[in-house]
Chains A and B, each alone.
Chain A
Amino acid sequence: MKKYVIIGNGAAAVGAIEGIRSVDKEGGITVISREPCHVYARPLISYLLQGKTDKKRMLYRPESFYEDNGVKVMYGRAAVKIDPEGKKVKLDSGEEVNYDKLLSACGSDPFVPAFEGIETVKNRFGFMTLSDAEALEKELSEDKSVLIMGAGLIGLKCAEGIAERVGKITVCDLAPRVLSSILDADCASLMQERLEKEGIEFLLDDTAVRFDGNKAYMKSGKEVSFDILITAVGVRANISLLKEAGADCGRGIVTDEKMQTSLKDIYAAGDCAESVDSTSGQRKVMAIMPLAYMQGRCAGVNMAGGEEIIDNAMPMNSIGFFGLHCMSAGTYEGECYEEKGEGYIKRLYTKDNLLKGFILIGKNARAGIYTAMIRNKTPLDSVDFETLKKTPSLAPMGKSYRTEKLGGVV
């Protein structure tokens, strides 16, 4: 009987458990979970504060999940060392766990730069975990002002989550626009306007250089008073365990198409892993939930002796703020087809006879047809792209595609 050990208990771990069990119903699976709780949907912590979900509904898998899959979870334990020769993992409790196949699914941790005086700030929170959200929730009240550092996905989702529950929110970011890693200036300003309508204020191209108690001194010379400080400036892949064990690491743990690391019998998946973005050919950490699950699943299948590869990974995101949704996928290079209207932008990027990426704000019905064209590398001259670029639909994909997809099992 094989012994599988998974470090971490997020989406990648769940994917791995389901992947392993699709091949091997017998082997023992042990999950080492630093967080002391059943797996929950991490992106839902902002919806929790918004009252759109609760702790029970935000469980990523049913309560019986571990039992159903014969998984032993060691809650509240962290892996501190991996011995790849002896094939064992050492925990913070001093215990050792032996493995035949090991998966690092330990995600990323927030990164907080060493701002001068940050230790003088009493009410300071990160926004990554359920316990972060619960701690923050205790401090929320309508007379309080909040400063959020970071106008990326996490900072803005936090802003949306607490907007109704605090007096004032200011968001600052060193970048000149919101969501700078996924949006260009035009698209970003559309999203920013939507957030501003809810009273959220922005200080862009600006950051705190010093803190003193409840005050932030900004690079621009401005001073911002706050009751609550939320730091969401960035995350870093948790690579140290594997790096110390000798695995190749860049920003993330380097993996191949099977999610295997450079070390024998050790795999990595999710936010801690680095893999090839098929739309740009570059290796990167793509920290998104769907990929975390799929990489975990792929790793699990391979760990259990099955065969699966991922050769079509790409960055993609669907995020909404106060009802305005923004979808993005792939790489923004090549020729751009644009449509624009009130509260609406569509941008499709094509190059070398392929759809490479897109941004859709405001209207997004059937967007997955575009995503599939990127993922499948559909040659544009094999479809009626003139029709497709206006309306994502299946008819312009051609008769044989329709017959296969609508007349058979897919």
Chain B
Amino acid sequence: MKRVYVNEKWCLGCRLCEYNCAYANSGDTDMVRALRGKKINPNIVVEEYGDINFAVSCRHCADPICVKSCISGALSKEDGMIKVDHDKCVGCLTCVLVCPYGCIKEGEHGAVSKCELCLENSCGEPACVKGCPNRAIVFEDRG
């Protein structure tokens, strides 16, 4: 299946992906209105480490420990994509405690939030990848 992969040598750490993610998941049609003056809480996070930068989002693990650990059954795998059912999630954060890549986080309204490859919002394909000027993240099928 297609997932988001990182080319860390091309990443400038500009954080455009974080903004594009927050916008795509805001449900708003106006980027300025969606983001201005707000602290964004994107599902992709740029790490900075010396002169290394890269953007991390859910790996959509083949054997997802978050799904196995969820205490409510809110996490599931659908055609390889790991999804949160926001109605079922009670925000216990057990999934945050187990995700090895730090890719699931407290969201709004008491449920967690994670990358769902923009398949659950109106974008339809990962907004982070689409907006990256350097191809430092790509959406590809590597198995």
CB within 8 Å of B: which residues of A? 15, 41, 43-44, 47, 52-53, 57-61, 289-290, 293-294, 297, 316-320, 325, 327, 329, 364-369, 371-372, 375-376, 387, 392-396, 402, 405-410
Q: Are A409 and B71 in contact (CB under 8 A)?
A: no
Task: Mark contacts of B56-67 with chain A using CB atoms, 8 A cut-off: 1 yes-contact digit, 0 otherwise.
Answer: 100101100100
Q: A53-B88, A395-B52, A402-B54 are in contact. Are A61 and B102 (CB under 8 A)?
A: no
Query: What CA separation (Å) do A53 and B95 show in the bound complex?
Result: 18
Q: Are B100 and A371 in contact (CB under 8 A)?
A: yes
Shortest CB-to-CB span from A2 to chain B, Å, is 24
B26 at the interface (CB under 8 A from A): no
- Chain B positions within 8 Å of A394 at CB level: 47, 56, 101-102
Shortest CB-to-CB span from A290 to chain B, Å, is 3
Shortest CB-to-CB span from A187 to chain B, Å, is 15
- Chain B positions within 8 Å of A376 at CB level: 100
- Chain A positions within 8 Å of B72 at CB level: 41, 43-44, 53, 57-58, 60
Total CB contacts across the A-B interface at under 8 A:
131
Q: Are A290 and B102 in contact (CB under 8 A)?
A: no
- Chain B positions within 8 Å of A43 at CB level: 71-72, 92
B8 at the interface (CB under 8 A from A): yes
Q: A316-B97, A392-B102 are in contact. Are A294 and B71 (CB under 8 A)?
A: no
Q: Are B101 and A41 in contact (CB under 8 A)?
A: no
Closest 3 CB pairs of A and B: A366-B102, A395-B49, A290-B69
- Among candidates A58, A325, A365, residue contacting B102 with C-beta atoms closer than 8 Å: A365
Which B residues between 18 and 42 are near A, CB-CB below 8 angstroms? none
- Among candidates A52, A396, A410, residue contacting B62 with C-beta atoms closer than 8 Å: A410
Closest to B87 in A: A57
- Chain B positions within 8 Å of A395 at CB level: 47-49, 52, 54
Q: Are A289 and B69 in contact (CB under 8 A)?
A: yes
Q: Are B92 and A320 in contact (CB under 8 A)?
A: yes
Q: Are B92 and A290 in contact (CB under 8 A)?
A: no
Closest to B91 in A: A320
B68 at the interface (CB under 8 A from A): yes
Shortest CB-to-CB span from A133 to chain B, Å, is 14
B90 at the interface (CB under 8 A from A): yes
Closest to B3 in A: A409
Q: Are A406 and B5 in contact (CB under 8 A)?
A: yes
Query: What CA separation (Å) do A392 and B101 show in the bound complex?
Result: 9
- Chain B positions within 8 Å of A61 at CB level: 73
Closest to B64 in A: A410
Q: Are A364 and B97 in contact (CB under 8 A)?
A: yes
Given contacts A15-B68, A318-B92, 10 further A-B contacts (CB under 8 A): A52-B90, A290-B98, A294-B68, A316-B97, A316-B98, A367-B102, A368-B97, A393-B47, A405-B100, A407-B142
Query: What CA separation (Å) do A325 and B71 show in the bound complex?
Result: 15
B134 at the interface (CB under 8 A from A): no
- Chain A positions within 8 Å of B73 at CB level: 41, 59-61
B143 at the interface (CB under 8 A from A): yes
Q: Are B105 and A365 in contact (CB under 8 A)?
A: yes
B94 at the interface (CB under 8 A from A): yes
- Chain A positions within 8 Å of B87 at CB level: 57
- Chain B positions within 8 Å of A410 at CB level: 59, 61-62
Shortest CB-to-CB span from A382 to chain B, Å, is 16
B118 at the interface (CB under 8 A from A): no
- Chain A positions within 8 Å of B143 at CB level: 408-409
- Among candidates B54, B56, B68, B98, residue contacting A368 with C-beta atoms closer than 8 Å: B98
Q: A316-B97, A368-B102 are in contact. Are A402 and B8 (CB under 8 A)?
A: yes
